[in-house]
Structure 1
């Protein structure tokens, strides 16, 4: 069996986006950017026996030992180059010498195809193929999703706009008919790149902001749609094979808040059967066929939703890459093989002044019967250490100046029999973390 080098970046959209495109108003968050760089550690469920995970930052040894103890054994490689580029593949491709650690593997398994992925495959003579970057950029644009939906279904909610005036005109119509309008950047991601407009004044402020960028020579491309009354968000994960065949991976219920991703759990059999009766998978097969015809093959995650009036929206947007849903599916496969259980994949943002003893914290969680697997075979499975401690990654354990907190993010899977039990586990973990002097947000 081919040995894989699992690697990649979780901010692929920033490398697909044309720098000459106008942007929506936003505040840059450097803490988020650093955390996103560390998220590559979340790919460990993709590793099988003989595979390796390459990450930008080191993972805590205690964390790797814990994962190995519950069945996630993998070789871990840490990037050793000096290039601080956010695009790991660009850094790998630009190194003058080959790193023979990578040459020991047969294929590269990227989270997403970004610029320089093909160069890395060629440099290390990996045997797998990936689609061209121009194709990947095209099919990941929300403009592509909006157009494909219209072509497959004869109608769609989202409409592409290519000027500030067009944005203003369509926005006015949506505000009059629906009372709100949602503007999406073609390469926006969860919690970033979407803007909800609920008044004429807010619409004109955004149009004016875009108009100024037009005056600076920026091109305009957004999607505008009504803000829909959603009952349930969900996603479907599948692979388009090199020969064009379709392989269904799984379905995930998605939990969002104000456009920001909160968590996922695998959909039950009743949910899958309801979607099959509604013709959902027929639409997916058509979408997969079009993606392949347009030159794409590989992993795909399609976001979908069910509205409160019963309307099924099979394609909200297309993510032609791996996703949190793929990760949670692999986690659930491992959990079910071990204990017949499934988890709820989520995260919490945290803050702390001093880097704490991660190994000691895991031991404390185990003593308190919070760490998976506890005496009931449930508990919380921590998925990340580098994202948690990303704020302390740059230099030692000194507290930041001015009383500010270092920011991090803890990803986890919660295994519980009932929702109240899940909530109790999270509350107990919060208390444990805050006993270390940390801050638990949300």
Structure 2
């Protein structure tokens, strides 16, 4: 297996190498033009019809997450097409071009519905579908964030071939039940627990969970297709399990079957969360791309730090796990990038596979920065800054507010804005209200961790101005020293 690793601290990884390898795996050639689609939280489509944890607030993708589609610009080149829910700010495109990014052609559906996925918007726009159909003879391939039946329909109706495995396979290998089964089959360390496909499985798992809770150890119940902290419940009291059993049972009764899609595990107190990405090639070979420290809170992904200081033994275990997982995915017919979450518990034990995400990951989009914007020897942290602007914020205003904290061409310290549309997501759909929650996505780059922490504090302070409505840094974002 090819491993881009220089030492135990970081992967020796360059964006150009990743771009060429990733495109070759997806399409057979490094210069194949792509139609990129940032259909984030595709898990909601995979979960459709599955019985899992009750969701009182529903599982709809938020407006902010919908506008994370702008991250797809980072993977594009001048020969590609990116389909977005809204036209990017021209000053933001100029900013990316100034940093050396190739700006793809941008297509947007009309009208865009904030309650609908970007794929749904495209399918509803006849003119845009006709435009995509004209790309097929030129050799374009459709490269979505992840593949559900909706993306397959888009490919079939437009005639642009899908540069990814079929939806039925993508759904199967992205289930947390699949991840747990593979870890069990190959003896990869994981927390004690159970994978549940039927109500009978769940009854056995809950009986085990009650015994575990009785010893003072909490458990976590996970939806097979939960994402971003949704579909994850830590349980400390057996009475809560009884309540869940009744609610899930009613859902199964209403559906007329006993199938469920859940995982029940012992909750592990962790010292560190990790994320690693590997590429599964069409010939079955596996390449580990990088390892990063994941910043999480209560199961919710908040960002990454890289490079990460890893014990040599832990790095070796992750390399082995990537090979095992990649070969199994290849045997099942999967190709493309896959991310896996791992964790180190308070005793220093590594659990190399908490779950597998066989689709693009946040780290996939950050890959475009490596070796260029993120120079060798630098430290970096990818994160989002919560904001609540009272009115739409043009990128020019954001640029003025950030001032010298914004990375400029040739700089070795600063913030790279990786998605700006998410700042104004509350105003999508023509809303003229008094503002709403948004996020500024970016990557902080510096020469050392203390320098990066000072930069982060400065960016946070500047975003607190009335025009942007930035919030204080959450406690869970505090830097480890």
Q: TM-score, normalised by structure 2?
A: 0.82
Report the alpha carbon displacement of residue 422 of structure 1 after superposing the two structures with TM.
2.6
Secondary structure at 1:334 match in 2:
coil
Aligned position for 1:99: 130
1:251–1:272 CA contact under 8 A, matched in 2: no
Within 5 A, what are the aligned runs for 1:196-345? 196-217=234-255, 219-268=259-308, 271=310, 273-277=312-316, 279-336=317-374, 341-345=378-382
Unmatched runs of 5 consecutive residues or more in structure 2: 1-30, 475-481
1:178–1:226 CA contact under 8 A, matched in 2: no
User: Which structure's relative contact order is higher, taking Cα pairs within 8 Å and 6+ residues apart?
Assistant: 2
Q: 1:361 aligns with which of 398, 405, 410?
A: 398
CA distance in 1, matches of 2:363, 2:426: 26
2:342–2:354 CA contact under 8 A, matched in 1: yes
| 1:67 to 2:96 alignment | yes
Q: What do residues 191-238 of structure 1 show as CA deviations (whole Å, max 9, x unaligned)? A: 211000112232222223223323323642210001112121112211
Distance 1:373 1:83, change over 3 A: closer
Report the alpha carbon displacement of residue 382 of structure 1 after superposing the two structures with TM.
1.6
Judge which range, 345-354 or 91-100, deviates more.
91-100
| 1:418 to 2:448 alignment | yes
| 1:429 to 2:459 alignment | yes
Distance 1:178 1:137, change over 3 A: farther
Q: How many residues align?
A: 431
Within 5 A, what are the aligned runs for 1:50-129? 50-82=79-111, 84=113, 86-93=116-123, 96=126, 98-100=129-131, 103=135, 106-126=140-160, 129=163
2:220–2:267 CA contact under 8 A, matched in 1: yes
Distance 1:433 1:5, change over 3 A: same
Cα RMSD (Å)? 2.7
Q: TM-score, normalised by structure 1?
A: 0.88
Q: What do residues 400-432 of structure 1 show as CA deviations (whole Å, max 9, x unaligned)? A: 3xxxx4111111111123334333333333332
Within 5 A, what are the aligned runs for 1:151-166? 151-153=185-187, 156-157=190-191, 158-161=193-196, 162-163=198-199, 165-166=203-204
Distance 1:87 1:10, change over 3 A: same
1:55–1:79 CA contact under 8 A, matched in 2: yes
CA distance in 1, matches of 2:449, 2:148: 38
Distance 1:356 1:322, change over 3 A: closer
Q: What do residues 47-90 of structure 1 show as CA deviations (whole Å, max 9, x unaligned)? A: 13422322112221111111111112312413223474734335
Report the alpha carbon displacement of residue 272 of structure 1 after superposing the two structures with TM.
7.6
